[in-house]
Amino acid sequence: AGGGRLLDKICKWYYNAAGFNKYGLMRDDILHEDDDVKEALKRLPEHLYNERVFRIKRALDLSLKHQILPKDQWVKYEEDHRYLEPYLKEVIRERQEREAWNKK
């Protein structure tokens, strides 16, 4: 049990050290957009996609101004959810199925 708490503290430290949350971004906002991620983004519900676009545009604006959000607006580790992950897993599974089928 103690090891889990230590790991959680390390994860929180790393999350905050990465700095993207200071711009209001979530982990899934900063994924490298390879073909799988691009396809997963196409499958996002419109409201999730629009929220992502807003966060990215705001972060770009803040970065250009050499500013960060006030601390009370930073995305907290506990509040960050992997909104793209289910769609990305589905895309990867489908691609792997297709690749396996094409090998036959």
Residue 82's CATH number:
1.10.1090.10
Using one digit for the tens of pLDDT, what is the confidence trace for 39-78?
999 999 999 999 999 999 999 999 999 999 999 999 999 9
Using one digit for the tens of pLDDT, what is the confidence trace for 23-41?
999 999 999 999 999 999 9
d(CA 97, CA 100): 5
Domains in the chain: how many in total? 1
d(CA 65, CA 41): 28
User: Whole domain around residue 56: which residue ranges?
Assistant: 2-103
Would you state the structure tokens that stand for residue 18, as one six-digit string? 């990465």
Is residue 3 over pLDDT 80? no
Give the number of other CB atoms < 10 A from CB of residue 97.
Answer: 10
**Which pLDDT does position 81 carry in this prediction?**
94
Cα-based distances in Å from 80 to 76, 83, 92? 6, 9, 22
pTM of model > 0.85? yes
d(CA 98, CA 104): 10
